[in-house]
Amino acid sequence: MKYISTRDNSKEYSFEDVFIKGLADDGGLFIPKEVKKYSTEELKSLSSLGYQDLAKEIIYPFIGDFMTVNELSDIVDKSYSVFRKDNVVDLIKLGDTKILELFHGPTLAFKDIAMQLLGNFYEHYLKKNNKNINVVVATSGDTGAAAIDAIKGKKNMNIFVLHPHEKVSLVQRKLMSTVKEKNVFNIAIEGNFDDCQNLVKSMFADKEFSNSINMSGVNSINWARIIAQAVYYFYTYFQVHDKRPINFSVPTGNFGDVYAGYLSKKMGLPINKFIVATNKNDILHRAISNGNYEAESVSETNSPSMDIQIASNFERLIYDLNDCDDDETTKIMHGIKKKGKYIISKDKMEKINKDFLSTSMSEKEILKTIKEVHTKYDIVLDPHSAIGFGSLDKVNLEGNNIVLATAHPCKFPEAIDKSIGIKSELPDELKYVMGEKENYDIVSNNLSKTQQYIKEKIKWN
């Protein structure tokens, strides 16, 4: 499969370029030149596969020139052997609604599903090309832990994770900062998540710096993450489909997870609607309901992994809305950078609303949802998943509704305690983390200071 950039679709890239670079040199996001569309018969032939075998089928067409079928098969099996469920994910029923639990990986959030695969993709690439790299990534809490777990101890690579100082939960931080492998570096930036993300973007844009350290990124714009996430939409569809339309409610920050769902629909999976469920950092809700994509300042909430005002993956949708016009997309993205906003026209809103609905939940509503679900079904949802669940009530959509549960409740014990007065405990095999010594450095929100810190830490062992 060949890839192009949303800001210049005349130049072609291989999957290897796309995976290692993350972002195109023109600042655009990578997307496939063409997406394979499955017929009804083809979908039927995939419908009885187990999760791992399905992942191999879905992913291979996207990466074909990067590795052989057998190599991918080994990597998928290895990546998902560390999950606590045989089929990676779990589906549970709460009344008429289904919950897709995506948090059974090593760091208790859905990000493990893509990240474990990426770690092994890197290993394959570095061995084949005899190279070394430094992964630098910004996190609002969950990406960092998932990336560290996937990369820790791997040869010829280091990982640097920038998290917003004192703005991630204690469990989130412990899962990152207690890892002992020598190739893992945690940096607490004195700022918010968007500051961390801007630092990483600036480091990539500084070619002298990024080339000098062989910098690579695993942020949610990395296409390899999107295809790994598309798999669970297929898997779930095959598990639950009946005669009713199928809708997915997706707790959303960077628009990565829900974009993966949209990709699966573009690949022919007959999904009705995606609900873009946000907390009070609701830029995407304002965009999808009113056409007003305008960044405001970030508020801290009890769903910190969604405390984002710049939804990086949204550019991929903007490209589609503008009929794959790369010049127009570039213009819009420059406008967003300069004026902080993009007003979406009426005809484009009609297009968006064919696939997407949206909601925003207040802190109070989130805690109330956790409580209601607990009382009614004896299940504890984490605050992010509760946003997905509560959003269904708000949009009142008929059909077969599935909520993505993106994190284990034990990652956010304060919110759970506040809502239902229960101490949500870590799974036994992770309890030790809370007592381990932490290792992270606090660095000011400053590009050259952060670059200097990284340069000083790099040594190849």
Ligand X SMILES: *Cc1c(COP(=O)(O)O)cnc(C)c1O
* Shorter beta-carbon distance to ligand X: residue 67 or 308: 308
Residue type, 403: V
Total residues interacting with ligand X, rule: CB under 6 A: 16
Asked if residue 256 binds ligand X (CB under 6 A), the reply is yes
Residue type, 273: K
* Shorter beta-carbon distance to ligand X: residue 213 or 426: 426
Asked if residue 249 binds ligand X (CB under 6 A), the reply is no
Question: Least distance (Å) from ligand X to the CB of residue 411?
Answer: 7
* Shorter beta-carbon distance to ligand X: residue 13 or 259: 259
Asked if residue 111 binds ligand X (CB under 6 A), the reply is yes
356 to 395: interface string for ligand X, x by CB under 6 A: ----------------------------x-----------
* Shorter beta-carbon distance to ligand X: residue 203 or 407: 407
Please give the Cα distance from 453 to 440 (Å, whole number).
12
- Write the DSSP assignment of 389-456 as a string of letters: HHHHHHHT--SEEEEEE-B-GGG-HHHHHHHH---PPPPGGGGGGGGSPP--EEEES-HHHHHHHHHH
Question: Least distance (Å) from ligand X to the CB of residue 342?
Answer: 18
259 to 298: interface string for ligand X, x by CB under 6 A: ----------------------------------------
Q: Which of 72, 159, 407, 443 binds ligand X (CB under 6 A)?
A: 407
Please give the Cα distance from 119 to 117 (Å, whole number).
5
Identify whether 111 is a catalytic site residue.
Answer: yes
Q: Which of 217, 253, 390, 413 binds ligand X (CB under 6 A)?
A: 253
Question: Least distance (Å) from ligand X to the CB of residue 356?
Answer: 13
CB 145 within 8 A of CB 182: no
Asked if residue 20 binds ligand X (CB under 6 A), the reply is no
Q: Look up residue 147 and give its two tokens.
A: 């990336």
Question: Least distance (Å) from ligand X to the CB of residue 98?
Answer: 18
Asked if residue 306 binds ligand X (CB under 6 A), the reply is yes
Q: Look up residue 48 and give its two tokens.
A: 């009885």
Question: Least distance (Å) from ligand X to the CB of residue 146?
Answer: 8
Question: Least distance (Å) from ligand X to the CB of residue 252?
Answer: 4
Asked if residue 252 binds ligand X (CB under 6 A), the reply is yes
Question: Least distance (Å) from ligand X to the CB of residue 255?
Answer: 5
Instruction: Show Cβ contacts of residue 147 under 8 Å, excluding neighbours closer than 6 positions.
Output: 111, 115, 118, 119, 135, 137, 139, 159, 161, 218
Asked if residue 109 binds ligand X (CB under 6 A), the reply is yes
194 to 223: interface string for ligand X, x by CB under 6 A: --------------------------x---
Other Cβ atoms within 10 Å of 308 Cβ, number: 25
**CA angle (187 as vertex; 183, 188 as ends), nearest 5:** 155
- Cα 403 to Cα 101, 180, 298: the distances in Å are 9, 35, 25
**DSSP 3-state of 52:** helix
Name the E strands within 128-225.
133-138, 157-164, 184-190, 215-216
Asked if residue 254 binds ligand X (CB under 6 A), the reply is yes
Other Cβ atoms within 10 Å of 348 Cβ, number: 17
Interface stretch with ligand X, choices 29-37, 126-134, 250-258, 266-274 (CB under 6 A): 250-258
CB 293 within 8 A of CB 339: no
Catalytic residue among 21, 56, 98, 111: 111
**DSSP 3-state of 88:** coil
Which residues of the shown chain bind ligand X in the complex (CB under 6 A)? 109, 111, 142, 220, 251-257, 305-306, 384, 406-407
Task: Report the catalytic residues.
Answer: 111
